[in-house]
Structure 1
């Protein structure tokens, strides 16, 4: 940046959904001036995503935000599905072996509150009209003009930033649209199913699923509030027209007969099975994250989680560059690490969408896959992938893998990450002394034990991924690679 060149913020984040707010919170945690703009005048209370995967729960826990999210949760689901098979999470190596049912608006509320507590600025009713960039700054035009060192496009699948920059969005167009609505019901021929407090505590919420021979399906999910439900159904619709109340009534009748009666529609919309991903997650000084970078068929509840984890990967890196502790080249690792993860999710969801086709060949494929996923090894591998726990950013394991939370000295290792710094967990004091010149960027913590045999110390990035396992890896090299030059005054 040219010395003396004025900007309104270090970063302007476009979009106040989970991805944008997660990124903005990460930036403010490290003191980066951040403005979030969003076209909505207020946060929507209904609709959109519902589930947090285990890895996203761990991400929130690393920043001390999980308790607030759990307080707003509607219950839990003890696993996921891969079209033909249930994927139980009970055997996964995590403290959170379930999907948390948390409406997107509630997650946004948690993140927005934290962002504002950290001194961030949120401007609503702000529509982007144009974006321009040079080698030092990005200027975003809307109701007024904002200039920043960087811009993050977190503005959804129809991203205005992506379109204004002319970034291609290759992939496949939607062939079918699905209906989703948050509704109030009253009893019909049957009493309404309710989510009990015991179910909520045991993470045992289950969907009322219906299927027809032509492949049409419906799911009815109770919220904690009596009478409030999410309905999601497919009826082979090929247009994304506006959802009417009568269509919801017809959908209820088609899949549930006269079991329940519709009282009110609180939110209704459609989504398609398009699958697209940008080729590069960075265009100059603009980064794309979440649905602005990738969209896919929402199989397995992976979409929101993918976006939040994009933001968690990018946030600490962008902060390190802006605060001057790391070179600009660190930002190249955002695309290098997250693009393959997004591509894997698109591959996974494309496969599941294909398996819905109703003909003899696909029926044979479903039967074969169902048998395969009944084997414990295959089922576990797919569960680890869908949950996000299998994500690795390269290197010789355990380098690149996430740190599994563990207890030492009466506390969980995850608490050391609340500040957003890197963490060195060491059983021997000489490693803590060796890392002292990086003390402003790396929290050193003496532990009685580590979750890896033969390991004396683990250096972990702010996003919870291991970057050195000592003595196998050289600690000083890893510290310099991921946290910059040592502080000569330390």
Structure 2
């Protein structure tokens, strides 16, 4: 019997499997598809963006260079000189509702608690690249992956979960559904999936144009929808505001795609050939809880929304990073009684906020006689420094804050990449998946308290190059600040209480 069975070998399932295996759990991943490299994962249809928060996550587990190499991106494009006195201004920014924003309008002064390091910006990649890196990591850590094994049945009792997949039964102490927006695990385990119906059908395709000059590059908002051409050869995206009525069981023919393109573009553009195509909608749904007994959900299995703003992959990676260490501690038996419940209480609000962010963009892009006026208003507001900075804060993945019961503004947020005088960074210290107690002004009582949790928390003392006004911080394995001490006060609970809250009995 395995400790954990994960349904789905996409990026979220593989990242979670690696987190669990890193903590010593036995993990089995069951994947529906037999082919690990389906065409939809490769460029151009597999094009995805990792935001700065996800880049930071890969960095903190020692996978950033592998991700950069697999994605064909240079380290200089995402990192900053760690010897610099302050973090550079962000260099990458997406869009809001197809409205391109100027990264130069971001106000760096409004982005508190940033320190220079290898992970400062997001970058473009593909699902294939992310999956390849994570597959190699999972297998290196001893994760078993069975492909061509769709889940067909799930049952659980107080001690175990039984999963039927590919004609076999598998038992585990826990099951996590990471099997996508049409999750079988979610359905079989009885989760409630609630939200809003779609307003559009979207399409992504690899095509050959007869007359590509008819369609300029970039996002193009029109009175009837939106279309997108990227520099990737033949890459076409479209949104058709017809109420999301296209039936995904229908074949995506050249004739259908051409009719949609002409309708939303207002041109006579002709598709000579369609090589590959897929459709989606802006249906925005979320489970009411991320846990039902011994079954949990992560990624698209827990929440779906339109791909506007490229938040889906990043939201799922955040789920896996939050859940991994908590589930592993529960498996080991050293977790506080309610630790696993904090997965839902922390991640559900983040998911709900992303769904609303997606809905706001769809409402802005919706067609109709009043649409141009609304779009111009949003364009004017987003084009201000405050508006652009707000979009960056909402989309970068660096400024989510969990409510951990403290008014100290860094507690509940991702920790800056503190760097000690010897060159060791927080990113280096988090690679083994343990928590970290950073003591910038070595204090014996802190060292003594940390000793009781030394198998779960690494105590590190030394002067940092920039302490940002802190004397000591407790960092959870997911990089979130759980406790902080300043020269004037100890924020939140006392250190011993915070250690017990997040790491269990000593």
The match for 2:479 is 464
The number of equivalent residue pairs is 459
Change (3 A) 1:339 1:113: same
| Counterpart pick for 1:82 among 96, 116, 123 | 96
Structure 2 matches for 1:210-229, cutoff 5 A? 211=220, 213-223=222-232, 228-229=233-234
Q: Does 1:404 align with 2:416?
A: yes
| Counterpart pick for 1:235 among 230, 240, 262 | 240
The match for 2:441 is 428
**Cα shift at 1:49:** 5.2
The match for 1:30 is 23
Structure 2 matches for 1:182-193, cutoff 5 A? 182-183=206-207, 185=208
Q: Classify the secondary structure of the residue corresponding to 2:154.
A: strand
| CA deviation vs aligned residue, 1:136-170 (integer Å, no higher than 9, x gap) | 11111122001111100111111001111232211
Q: Does 1:418 align with 2:425?
A: no
**Cα shift at 1:452:** 4.8
Gaps in structure 1 of 5+ consecutive residues: 1-7, 193-206
Q: Does 1:481 align with 2:488?
A: no
The match for 1:3 is none
The match for 1:368 is 377
| CA deviation vs aligned residue, 1:262-290 (integer Å, no higher than 9, x gap) | 6662x311010101111111111101111
**Cα shift at 1:364:** 3.2
Q: Classify the secondary structure of the residue corresponding to 1:355.
A: helix
The match for 1:104 is 127
Q: Classify the secondary structure of the residue corresponding to 1:276.
A: strand
**Cα shift at 1:375:** 2.5
The match for 2:82 is none
Structure 2 CA distance for aligned equivalents of residues 438 and 229 of structure 1: 55
Structure 2 matches for 1:43-54, cutoff 5 A? 43=36, 44=38, 45-46=41-42, 47-48=45-46, 50-54=48-52
| CA deviation vs aligned residue, 1:396-447 (integer Å, no higher than 9, x gap) | 2211011011332223321110000001111122233431221111112223
Structure 2 CA distance for aligned equivalents of residues 140 and 214 of structure 1: 49
Structure 1 CA distance for aligned equivalents of residues 214 and 238 of structure 2: 21
Change (3 A) 1:210 1:334: closer
Contact between 1:79 and 1:97, CA under 8 Å: does it hold in 2?
no
CA RMSD of aligned residues (A): 2.7
| CA deviation vs aligned residue, 1:210-263 (integer Å, no higher than 9, x gap) | 53642432222234xxxx453211234530332224445666778597999766
Q: Classify the secondary structure of the residue corresponding to 2:452.
A: helix
Structure 2 CA distance for aligned equivalents of residues 355 and 189 of structure 1: 27
Contact between 1:85 and 1:373, CA under 8 Å: does it hold in 2?
no
Q: Does 1:20 align with 2:13?
A: yes
Q: Classify the secondary structure of the residue corresponding to 1:443.
A: strand
The match for 2:181 is 157
Structure 2 matches for 1:106-255, cutoff 5 A? 106-142=129-165, 143-183=167-207, 185=208, 208-209=217-218, 211=220, 213-223=222-232, 228-236=233-241, 238-240=245-247, 241-247=250-256
Structure 1 CA distance for aligned equivalents of residues 281 and 211 of structure 2: 31
| CA deviation vs aligned residue, 1:307-326 (integer Å, no higher than 9, x gap) | 11001100000001111221
Change (3 A) 1:450 1:437: farther
| CA deviation vs aligned residue, 1:28-75 (integer Å, no higher than 9, x gap) | 001100000010002224334511011000011010011111112255
Gaps in structure 2 of 5+ consecutive residues: 78-90
**Cα shift at 1:459:** 0.6
What is the TM-score when the length of structure 2 is the normalising length? 0.84
Contact between 1:26 and 1:312, CA under 8 Å: does it hold in 2?
yes
| Counterpart pick for 1:60 among 58, 61, 68 | 58
| Counterpart pick for 1:335 among 335, 344, 347 | 344
Structure 2 CA distance for aligned equivalents of residues 189 and 467 of structure 1: 53
**Cα shift at 1:176:** 1.7
Structure 2 CA distance for aligned equivalents of residues 66 and 127 of structure 1: 31
Structure 2 CA distance for aligned equivalents of residues 307 and 27 of structure 1: 16
Contact between 2:13 and 2:178, CA under 8 Å: does it hold in 1?
yes
Contact between 1:30 and 1:319, CA under 8 Å: does it hold in 2?
yes
Structure 2 CA distance for aligned equivalents of residues 108 and 245 of structure 1: 30
| CA deviation vs aligned residue, 1:344-396 (integer Å, no higher than 9, x gap) | 00111101101112334443333333222223123212211111111111132
The match for 2:324 is 315
